[in-house]
Amino acid sequence: MRIERMYRPFVLILAALVACPQVQGPEFPEMPEVSGLGLEPGDRIRLHGPFEQDPLVSARVVSTGPIYLGFSLDGRPDLVFTRAFATIDTLDVRHRSRWYSAQEGATWGLFLVTAAGMIAGPLLAPGRAMETSTAIVAYGAGGAILGIVSGAAAGAVIAPIRWYRYVIRGQTAANSRD
């Protein structure tokens, strides 16, 4: 097989690329998955450093990227600090979880108002010309429906602000409420 002279440099470069091991870019440490945190500018956070002696820092999020977190301290809002997520052990994020509070309110409403309906059933049965067992079931079921709806609504409206802890380093992704 004869290759013309003008194509020889291209063939040599191609052969060198195929024969050489793949050239890779710089290696970056594997970053934790932080997209699930839902951090937005203005969110309140508390940072724990990589060492035990590091103090807890309270701050506000300014910006986030795939490998960094930009934040300003509460006392110095004009000064922006950046830290790589790889240097952060845990991150406490302050959220108002309406969904969690609505679930909790619905559960409490279900138990409390159902119990109140079941207690009120025998007391109201003689005046309604009902049997006691029918009144207990009717008032208990009505209390259950009313309790779920009113408890969920109250829980969503009165959603407390809680700190949620996210473990960034170590890939454990353990979330816990304070």
Give the mean model confidence (pLDDT) for residues 22-43.
56
Percent of the chain with pLDDT over 90: 14
What pLDDT is recorded for position 144?
Answer: 92
Residue ranges of domains in the chain, CATH in brackets: 35-95+161-177 (2.30.30), 98-157 (no CATH)
Angle of the 132-157 helix axis to the 98-128 helix axis, nearest 10: 150
pLDDT tier at 150, thresholds 50, 70, 90:
very high
What pLDDT is recorded for position 173?
Answer: 40
Angle (CA) 155-115-124 rounded to 5° is: 120
What pLDDT is recorded for position 145?
Answer: 93
